[in-house]
Amino acid sequence: WNSPLDALFFGVPLIPHALGGWIVTSIDRIFINSMVGVAATGLYSVGYSVGMIIGLLAHSFNLAWSPFLYEKLKENNYSTKMKIVKFTYLYDIGIVFLALALSFIAPYFLKFFVSRNFYFAYKYVLWIALGYAFQGMYFMVVNYIFYVKKTYILAWVTFTSAGVNIVLNYFFIKANGAIGAAQATTITFFVQFIMVWVLSAKVYKMPWKLDITKNAQKNI
């Protein structure tokens, strides 16, 4: 940092960002507990824990990826940026595939590792795993905001996501029961990903559209 003030401008906005993140990942169980019941909350929590495996994988990958990305961005090379974008799209496809695979094996996994009372927690895994797949995609684009040190953007994004999550939880749980909370989680993470992708594209230019037209013309 050039000065302590720069560090404050970077770090202080991350406090509301963290608070908003806690709301997004925790408010669902509060709603289920009050609107459906304690038993449903327990079942949901088991399914959530399994689906969250995708989130743990995404977070672990991002810890290794972000330093590598920052070094590559310093090169400010168009060809390198194209490779990063292509890899990001492949990553997005891969993490969705992992989420679907996890939801497929979840019934068999839970049959061996939890009691019969919690077996039907598998029905939440698909939605939670997909939600965390979208969070994994979010990690891949939020890094650009961290790179340009414009973390103040994230404060309002996360609070907007938290507001969306609260509203969705209420109406989806009211309509669909506890599964509605899992659906609300998926939609919230998707909305958060799209918002951050759009904003990161504004603060740091990357060839997200992949110049397919130019490449096609070269091959003619």
pLDDT of residue 188: 96
211: left (phi over 0), alpha (psi -120 to 50) or beta: beta
pLDDT of residue 30: 94
This prediction's pTM = 0.88
**pLDDT beyond 80 at 20:** no
**pLDDT beyond 90 at 154:** no
User: Would you list the domain boundaries of the chain?
Assistant: 4-219
CA distances from 123 to 46, 55, 101, 106, 179 (A): 10, 18, 14, 9, 8
Q: How many residues does the chain have?
A: 220
Rounded average pLDDT over 47-76: 96
For the chain, give the percent of residues with pLDDT over 70. Answer: 87
Q: Is the dihedral of CA 19, 24, 27, 31 positive or negative?
A: positive
pLDDT of residue 218: 46
pLDDT digits (tens, 9 = 90+) for 62-113: 999 999 999 999 999 999 999 999 999 999 999 999 999 999 999 998 988 8
